[in-house]
């Protein structure tokens, strides 16, 4: 049971990474289907990934501060 306190933050990081990847792929595909160029789609996907990572890590910081 001594390793349990690190399990929850690890799960939050893994879930944040997975959600960020899914969000980035979705945003990039939607931008491309809307008629955007490949560089514009990649920029949109990168912005979505950055936003999701930021929100996820902020949530982890709030949870860890309890």
User: What is the rounded CA–CA span in Å between residue 34 and residue 13?
Assistant: 31
Question: Chunked in runs of 10, what are the mean pLDDT values of the chain (66 residues)?
Answer: 70 90 95 94 95 89 74
**Residues 45, 31 contacting (CB under 8 angstroms):** yes
User: What is the rounded CA–CA span in Å between residue 33 and residue 16?
Assistant: 25
At residue 51, the pLDDT reads 94
Model-level pTM?
0.79
């Amino acid at each position: 049971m001594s390793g349990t306190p690190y399990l929850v933050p690890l799960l939050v990081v893994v879930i944040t990474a997975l959600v960020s990847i899914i969000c980035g792929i979705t945003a990039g595909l939607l931008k491309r289907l809307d008629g955007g160029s490949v560089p514009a789609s990649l920029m949109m996907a990168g912005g979505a990934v950055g936003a999701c990572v930021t929100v996820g890590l902020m949530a982890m910081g709030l949870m860890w501060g309890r």
